Structure 1
């Protein structure tokens, strides 16, 4: 009886907070797989059946998973592989080769990686092959079982599939599709790409050997679905050690998501990016503010986190500029206003700055031309200004045409936060005319 009481006793708040942070970090940072992928049930079923036919029945297949970044392509594939490997026979027999177009930049590197992942380095040894096809068929031959009557099924996953289309003659793609079509060995080729026009990149001979199966993931949730997902991501499951704490936490999350200011902040994130991966950083920043003293996420925490996520990097860089560099930016802003966004050069900026010094400033002195040139070049290095024509080498630097890469809002917001900014510089920036 006493043991049961101890078990049912509530946990200390500090322990509960640590447990919450551990659970949510795994969910948000490690991209923990859901038990059943939401909203893509049909695609999950289709892909699972396709791969099962290769892994169990020895059929060869090829398929492309297509969708924008963050739409859940990798999550879908991982869920399918997890469900597929639950079958003992599949787990024992299926071999996997994972290639990425960003890493395997040519066919030679891809072959080396395939050999390594299939643990066939000793078999290949110092053999010299006449062609890619010969090398690949040797690898697949080496995978045959002892009786040599059947080969182990191999799953090839090509991430960033469109980048493999840029390899010379598309040899890798041609040979993988050729093997899958001719049924030389049980092979499944799964390409993962965010290019909707990926088939246009393939050569005719490659396209003719591809099965033309495509699984599309077009993530376009409504705002209410987005809000619901945020609540689900932050909520605790029923198996949390302290039931009372979990109920209180989930109630606080529900209240948080119903708050009007929170809804407005999440609406801004939703408008900028509808994929759920992008809001993980926001939720992680909220989670980092949870402590024993603050045992729940409050609206103020989410609003502060939202402000940090949406912070403008370029406007932030303005805070580190010298007063001279800031004045040059303001002069450019005025030139943009007067000439309606037409490009400018250093001479025009310098003249605008001189006008300000003559008319309005009591707190600044005139800088020498080389100093102004140096400040101007520094702004170009920071990519706050960029040349209109990068090939105009013959033009003197003072007369090279430039564009300002900041808009007026960014300049004005940065100016408000600039430490100890002279009043007349602020007034100059706010004035309608330079």
Structure 2
């Protein structure tokens, strides 16, 4: 091969690497509508939406679960399935509102008007109250005989933030319309707040259907990962990092990505990914990550970090890329959070660490953790013991930081006995203890000593 042809070949290979990185990043990070878990919960949401669209039935429901548990993906997958129906395409309207964007009812109503394509109807109309505005919008959607309204699906993301609006007027009117069947609407709230019902005012709560669907990121009831669950994660690892084969390369439009990559290059790349999937170091990294956090979102973020190492001077993924990505992704952020906790909260974290080690990763609850902390505090005169309400407040802060995640949800169980999965490793806790400034020596020794 001439020098000129070699230069062209190297240039083409460099180009393939950059195209591969671009394609894989889009594939990994682009929001999917394919949903793999929570089959019954998804079916419940699907049926509610279908009844609103097909039969004109009004409904309201809250979809509740930790961040990354798949709430938004579930909704998107249901909407994608329903969009294949001609009745849904022709009649249904989707209004998506977000608590972080629509910070008051005025903004929410303005955007709802835009999404319902009624700006021209509202141009010269001025009403005194929110209820009058909403009533007018719903009336405007009625078809020619004035007896049938278009079904509307309201999706309220970060639903708990809408509870902070003045008098909860938006929620009151939406739930009131749904309850009184003035028009066929389905109100779906998405939130990570387990106590969201308690945020509703009495008059709003009385109009809500009290349907609640809980999502949790897989079975987290022990330290051992079922083989089938981890096999699914390995399969996802290979699927997300592989380039499409000849049969699937023409179907990429569905994923909103393009793959103009040479066939031979794709075959070589996919062989390398299969080899990585079987590598013991990679398997161990994935298992450790899966023990502490089984959410797909964080797994995808981890893969995106590894993919970022690809460049013209680093043209294939290596085991060390995933080792470095795991250090960046699974340790630093949580360790920094731990270093910002109060001493009491740090003590509870250490108690959780010991509880998890003693019982081999079994779920913990407030009573177990507080008792372990109080036992330590009572045996060390230098450590001031505090009352349980104060300990509960610290425990709630740790929960809100998502350093523990709930396991199941039984509303009959008092909150002191609600089960949680500890999401930190012993190494992360010990690193935070080491870096924590002015942590009393007794606490440092407790973290690293025989378990009390």
Where on the TM-score scale, by shorter chain, does this alignment land: which range? Answer: 0.5 to 0.7
**For the Cα contact (< 8 Å) 2:18–2:312, is it kept in 1?**
no
Q: Bigger CA drift: 110-119 or 179-188?
A: 110-119
Inter-CA distance 93–42: structure 2 relative to 1 (3 Å threshold)? same
Q: Please name the residue that 2:90 is paired with.
A: 92
Structure-1-length-normalised TM-score: 0.64
> What's the RMSD between the two structures over aligned residues?
3.0
Q: Which structure has the greater CA radius of gyration?
A: 1
Task: Give the total of aligned pairs.
Answer: 315
Determine the C-alpha separation between the residues in 1 that align with 2:312 and 2:101: 44
Q: Please name the residue that 1:276 is paired with.
A: 296
**For the Cα contact (< 8 Å) 1:315–1:411, is it kept in 2?**
no
Inter-CA distance 155–292: structure 2 relative to 1 (3 Å threshold)? same
**For the Cα contact (< 8 Å) 2:96–2:156, is it kept in 1?**
yes
**For the Cα contact (< 8 Å) 1:66–1:195, is it kept in 2?**
yes
Shift of residue 43, structure 1, vs aligned partner:
2.3
Which structure would you say has the larger RCO, counting Cα contacts within 8 Å and 6 or more residues apart? Answer: 2
Determine the C-alpha separation between the residues in 2 that align with 1:144 and 1:46: 28
Which of 203, 207, 210 is residue 209 of structure 1 equivalent to?
207
The within-5 A match list for 1:139-178 is: 139-178=137-176
Q: Please name the residue that 2:120 is paired with.
A: 122
Cα distance per residue 1:224-272 (max 9 Å; x no partner): 2444433332233441476654454333223223323223433443455
Shift of residue 217, structure 1, vs aligned partner:
1.3
Q: Please name the residue that 2:240 is paired with.
A: 233
Inter-CA distance 273–292: structure 2 relative to 1 (3 Å threshold)? same
**For the Cα contact (< 8 Å) 2:17–2:315, is it kept in 1?**
yes
Determine the C-alpha separation between the residues in 2 that align with 1:186 and 1:314: 45
Cα distance per residue 1:3-29 (max 9 Å; x no partner): xxxxxxxxx655654553343222222
Alignment of 1:181 onto 2:187:
no
Inter-CA distance 284–340: structure 2 relative to 1 (3 Å threshold)? farther
Structure-2-length-normalised TM-score: 0.62
Determine the C-alpha separation between the residues in 2 that align with 1:274 and 1:180: 36
Determine the C-alpha separation between the residues in 2 that align with 1:301 and 1:158: 39
Q: Please name the residue that 2:403 is paired with.
A: none
Determine the C-alpha separation between the residues in 2 that align with 1:307 and 1:63: 39
Determine the C-alpha separation between the residues in 2 that align with 1:38 and 1:132: 40
Secondary structure in 2 matching 1:64: strand
**For the Cα contact (< 8 Å) 2:58–2:181, is it kept in 1?**
yes
Determine the C-alpha separation between the residues in 1 that align with 2:86 and 2:25: 31
Determine the C-alpha separation between the residues in 2 that align with 1:95 and 1:119: 10
Alignment of 1:254 onto 2:274:
yes
The within-5 A match list for 1:377-416 is: 407=432, 409-410=434-435
Q: Please name the residue that 2:365 is paired with.
A: none
Secondary structure in 2 matching 1:192: strand
Q: Bigger CA drift: 235-244 or 283-292?
A: 235-244
Determine the C-alpha separation between the residues in 2 that align with 1:66 and 1:273: 18
Inter-CA distance 408–75: structure 2 relative to 1 (3 Å threshold)? closer
